[in-house]
Amino acid sequence: MHSIKELQAILAQAVKNQQYPAKPAELYEPISYLMDLGGKRMRPVLLLMSCELFDGDIQKALDPAMAIEVFHNFTLMHDDIMDKAPLRRGNPTVHEKWNANTAILSGDVMLVEGYKLLGNLEPELLKPVFKVFNDTAVGVCEGQQFDMNFESLAEVSIDEYLEMIRLKTAVLLGGALKIGALIAGAGDREADLIYSFGENLGIAFQLQDDLLDVYGDPDKFGKQVGGDILSNKKTYLLIKAIELAKGAHAEELNFWLSKTHFEPADKVKAVTRIYNELNIRELAIETMHAFAAKAIDQLNAIPVPEERKKALKEFGEQLLIRES
Amino acid sequence: MHSIKELQAILAQAVKNQQYPAKPAELYEPISYLMDLGGKRMRPVLLLMSCELFDGDIQKALDPAMAIEVFHNFTLMHDDIMDKAPLRRGNPTVHEKWNANTAILSGDVMLVEGYKLLGNLEPELLKPVFKVFNDTAVGVCEGQQFDMNFESLAEVSIDEYLEMIRLKTAVLLGGALKIGALIAGAGDREADLIYSFGENLGIAFQLQDDLLDVYGDPDKFGKQVGGDILSNKKTYLLIKAIELAKGAHAEELNFWLSKTHFEPADKVKAVTRIYNELNIRELAIETMHAFAAKAIDQLNAIPVPEERKKALKEFGEQLLIRES
């Protein structure tokens, strides 16, 4: 079995080895550009770890792991257009560095390149892996659409929010893990358990993201703390605060949500204080822990020797105690 | 064997039967909207015809035929954003009726839905069909990128133009036919011959498109005759005219290409006259016939009874003598 660091090194090399045609440059350069910006490679690492959990050969899983990473980066390229994001991992987004048309078309071919990386699987394996990949891809698109819809909705419930982040973030973690399991030859029940582990871990991961945006250490977070507050983003924290705020709290929260001119620091401070007074942080941590516990339950239920689960447990813990 | 009309009716029913989830509506309604706008269903018809050419069962080919049609419509949805096109088949384009973000994301999920339609193929068939589908999809994206690049290039050669339309238009016809052949159990050589038939037919088809835009009957063409001339679109006709024009012709052509204010009818008339005086129409027809002849050669080389080729020959002829 490999350590997380070793798997990341293997994947870094695989990204380096990826070769795209030289022409048309506008189509392929943005793919290499975005892939080379790095990131934790969390999803392909999970795929390889799941393969090893079930005693599979990660060489067989390397292309499908890259398929998941290329797919994930495709979603970033298109999401960044839709969100009008100027920066991705501290660098100009593709639609900023090139233009929106390039980001659309390069993203399209990137999705196809992701599929192509499944093409070397043996026929009997390609079919079920292809199904998981398709279902995952549809889920991620649905999640992004719900997320965009939430921006203009007056009211979003916690359940709707959790379903959105399940689709947008968690199914891809689950899908990656399930593909790794299938390649290792795991049975249906095991594959479903590791999928469910990933899905629950993914929801916990996103809740941690929401928390970090408000309570992260500014020196370690890497992004502006309070960004979600400034943009009225409907995170778990805001939705819960709207749900719980009464009287003066409700008035003050509405005041800040509807105010269009303000000192950023004032709004972040005021809304954070409301969160604190309503115990939103504790509630979010509690919910996060509940999903993390569900994830661990699924992992525990998988009938493989305990020592083979260590790496995945460690990885899960790292994701939930991270500071950026 | 089925007639073209019968195949179109079967496909119309298949389009009608397609069901997408109700939510999120912004994601799935544009897919149904665009698919329901109709069109000749040329690509899936070709796929089914190829299947019957090789004595296959079209029931087995129906989902893959729909995959090709969904894929084709996905490219239209995204191309229309990039081209800022207001209308598609006489109706508002998806980015006009909804917005660009919806057209991006709905298109993305549409591409995945196309792939999903391959998912019921038996494993041994899925693998080669998946490869053809991927290669085709990459080709179409490359063709669209070259087409966009041509807009800002001072010079495009006839060879570069033919390569662009091969990628943008012809490989999808070839790919559809090859998939139909594979599903019918054709051998590699037969599958390659029918692919080549489609590729050559596709190039001839696009040249006919270029011709119709200038020489089509305004009452039958369905679009504004001369649209390509008005937008300085680098078609076979314009590229050939730039290549051949000398002296006064070259001067006059450059005059109209660089003029920014003009009466549309004046420009169409003047450029058409230059084309006529340089025999561009005849040259384009000659080139179109050369590709059509190459297509027929490939079809003739396929070792199946002549009567089974009749429908494809007829369809090819229809494409090249059409008026819209």
pLDDT tens for the 324 residues of chain B, in order: 899 999 999 999 999 999 999 999 999 999 999 999 988 899 999 999 999 999 999 999 999 999 999 999 999 999 999 999 999 999 999 999 999 999 999 999 999 999 999 999 999 999 999 999 999 999 999 999 999 999 989 899 999 999 999 999 999 999 999 999 999 999 999 999 999 999 999 999 999 999 999 998 877 776 778 999 999 999 999 999 999 999 999 999 999 999 999 999 999 999 999 999 999 999 999 999 999 999 999 999 999 999 999 999 998 888 887 766
A chain contacts of residue B134, beta-carbon cutoff 8 Å: 112, 115-116, 119
CATH class of A4-320: mainly alpha
CA distance readout (Å), A14 to A10, A65, A323: 6, 10, 27
Distance from CA of B205 to the nearest CA of A (A): 24
Of A24, A130, A131, the CB nearest to B142: A24
Q: Mean of the pLDDT values across residues A71-98?
A: 96
A chain contacts of residue B109, beta-carbon cutoff 8 Å: 137-138, 141-142
CA angle B203, B208, B210 (to 5 degrees): 95
Of A24, A131, A138, the CB nearest to B149: A24
Tokens of residue B131, six digits: 């490869």
Residue of B nearest to A20 (CA): B138
User: Is the Cβ–Cβ distance between B308 and B221 less than 8 Å?
Assistant: no
Cβ distance B137 to A112 less than 8 Å, yes or no, reads yes
Going A208 to A210 to A216 to A222, the CA torsion angle's sign is positive
Does the structure show a pLDDT above 70 at A278?
yes
φ, ψ at B308 (rounded to 5°): -75, -15
Cβ distance B131 to A148 less than 8 Å, yes or no, reads no
Tokens of residue B75, six digits: 């490219």
Cβ distance A111 to B112 less than 8 Å, yes or no, reads yes
B chain contacts of residue A131, beta-carbon cutoff 8 Å: 119
Q: Domain boundaries in chain A?
A: 4-320
Cβ distance B104 to A101 less than 8 Å, yes or no, reads no
Residue of A nearest to B83 (CA): A101
Average model confidence (pLDDT) for chain A? Answer: 95
Q: Can you tell me the distance from the alpha carbon of B122 to that of B183, in angstroms, rounded to the nearest whole number?
A: 10
Tell me yes or no: is domain B4-321 CATH 1.10.10.10. no
φ, ψ at A148 (rounded to 5°): -65, -40
Of B27, B78, B118, the CB nearest to A145: B27
Cβ distance A141 to B115 less than 8 Å, yes or no, reads no
Q: For the residues of A307-321, what is the DSSP string, one character each?
A: GGGHHHHHHHHHHHS
- DSSP one-letter code for A92: E
Alpha helices in chain A, H assignment, sequence order: 4-17, 25-36, 42-53, 58-82, 94-97, 100-116, 123-152, 158-165, 171-183, 188-215, 218-221, 227-230, 236-244, 247-258, 264-277, 280-300, 310-320
Cβ distance A138 to B116 less than 8 Å, yes or no, reads yes
CA angle B38, B44, B49 (to 5 degrees): 130
Cβ distance B105 to A134 less than 8 Å, yes or no, reads no
Cβ distance B109 to A148 less than 8 Å, yes or no, reads no
Q: Can you tell me the distance from the alpha carbon of A273 to that of B170, in angstroms, rounded to the nearest whole number?
A: 62
CA distance readout (Å), A206 to A68, A161, A200, B3: 19, 11, 10, 55
User: Is the Cβ–Cβ distance between A183 and A56 less than 8 Å?
Assistant: yes
Distance from CA of A137 to the nearest CA of B (A): 7
**Residue reference for tokens 């910006």:** A37
- DSSP one-letter code for A284: H
A chain contacts of residue B104, beta-carbon cutoff 8 Å: 78, 81-82, 104
Tokens of residue B95, six digits: 């980015």
Of A21, A100, A127, the CB nearest to B123: A127
- DSSP one-letter code for A306: G
Does the structure show a pLDDT above 70 at A324?
no
Model confidence at A319, pLDDT cuts 50, 70, 90, reads confident
B chain contacts of residue A100, beta-carbon cutoff 8 Å: 100
B chain contacts of residue A148, beta-carbon cutoff 8 Å: 26, 101, 105
**Residue reference for tokens 């795929």:** A47
Q: Is A40 helix (H, G, I), strand (E, B) or coil?
A: coil
Distance from CA of A4 to the nearest CA of B (A): 31
Model confidence at A224, pLDDT cuts 50, 70, 90, reads confident
Of B24, B131, B138, the CB nearest to A109: B138
Q: Report how many Cβ contacts below 8 Å link chain A to chain B.
A: 110
pLDDT digits (tens, 9 = 90+) for A10-56: 999 999 999 999 999 999 999 999 999 988 899 999 999 999 999 99
A chain contacts of residue B108, beta-carbon cutoff 8 Å: 78, 107-108, 111, 141
CA distance readout (Å), A225 to A211, A230, A292, B104: 10, 10, 24, 30
Burial class (CB in 10 A: 0-12, 13-18, 19+), A322: middle
Model confidence at A98, pLDDT cuts 50, 70, 90, reads very high
B chain contacts of residue A123, beta-carbon cutoff 8 Å: 123-124, 126-127
pLDDT the model gives residue B324: 67
Residues of A with CB under 8 A from a CB of B: 21, 24, 26-27, 78, 81-82, 100-101, 104-105, 107-109, 111-113, 115-116, 118-119, 123-124, 126-127, 130-131, 134, 137-138, 141-142, 144-146, 148-149
pLDDT digits (tens, 9 = 90+) for B73-126: 999 999 999 999 999 999 999 999 999 999 999 999 999 999 999 999 999 999
Residues of B with CB under 8 A from a CB of A: 21, 24, 26-27, 78, 81-82, 100-101, 104-105, 107-109, 111-113, 115-116, 118-119, 123-124, 126-127, 130-131, 134, 137-138, 141-142, 144-146, 148-149
Going B29 to B34 to B36 to B37, the CA torsion angle's sign is positive
Does the structure show a pLDDT above 80 at A323?
no
pLDDT exceeding 90 applies to what percent of chain A? 91
